[in-house]
Structures are given as C-alpha cells and as structure tokens.
Amino acid sequence: DAMVIQNPRYQVTQFGKPVTLSCSQTLNHNVMYWYQQKSSQAPKLLFHYYDKDFNNEADTPDNFQSRRPNTSFCFLDIRSPGLGDAAMYLCATSRRSFGQGGDEQFFGPGTRLTVL
C-alpha cells in the first residue's frame, strides 16, 4: 500500500544533542511537509518542499533544518534540541496543486520526540 513512513516512531535525545528524523513516501508526491504538534495543539508547519524547492516558514527556528535528497525521502534535523522542542513531528505529502485550493495531505504516523 502506498504510504508515508516515519522513523523512528519514538525518539529520546538529550538537551543539545543533535537528532535526525526521517520520512519516506511511496506516493510519488511532489510536496512534502514537516509539522510540529505539541499536546492539545494544532499541527504547526515548519517547512515544506515543492519538488526540490525548500520553503521555510518565517517563524521556524534556525535550530530546525531539512533535507530532501530525492522525491521519496525527507529529513528533519534538529541541531540543538531544547526542552521546548519536545513534540510530535508529523511528515505529510501531497500532490502538486495548481489551483488555489491545495490538495489532500497524507500524514505519516509521526515521531514523538522527548528531550531530557
């Protein structure tokens, strides 16, 4: 089945220790997203790739970086995690939308990050 896969599902790291989260997709979608979701809050977009074009949200901290080496894979790097970065990180994909409405987003199961 076509899907969005995230690894690991649970990640524990120490304060300040770099961590990388990965996302892969078999949907062959052009657009990939990274969201941060804290408890009882809405998903908050960190950045997205439109094909190879990287689009950073204005309020995404510099501590967060991303790489998309090919269509199928995308990585989220947190260079120096702080306690406030503990959250669920969701990867999502969608087809390229040429209209104004956007297209359905398919979410992976998420990676829950704990910072000690």
Partner 1 sequence: QQPVQSPQAVILREGEDAVINCSSSKALYSVHWYRQKHGEAPVFLMILLKGGEQKGHDKISASFNEKKQQSSLYLTASQLSYSGTYFCGTRGGLGIQGAQKLVFGQGTRLTINP
Note the residues at the interface with partner 1 (CB under 8 A). 31, 33, 40-45, 48, 50, 53, 55, 90, 94, 96-110
Closest to partner 1 by CB, 27 or 79? 27
Question: In whole angstroms, how close is the CB of 44 to partner 1 at the nearest point?
Answer: 8
Spatial separation of the C-alpha atoms in residues 49 and 93, rounded to whole Å: 9
Unique residue bearing structure tokens 């190879």: 52
Question: In whole angstroms, how close is the CB of 89 to partner 1 at the nearest point?
Answer: 11
Closest to partner 1 by CB, 24 or 94? 94
Question: In whole angstroms, how close is the CB of 38 to partner 1 at the nearest point?
Answer: 12
Spatial separation of the C-alpha atoms in residues 53 and 42, rounded to whole Å: 25
Decide: helix, strand or coil at residue 110.
Answer: coil
Unique residue bearing structure tokens 């702080």: 82
The answer to whether residues 73 and 24 touch, using CB atoms and an 8 Å cutoff, is: yes
Closest to partner 1 by CB, 42 or 83? 42
Spatial separation of the C-alpha atoms in residues 51 and 82, rounded to whole Å: 30
Closest to partner 1 by CB, 16 or 107? 107
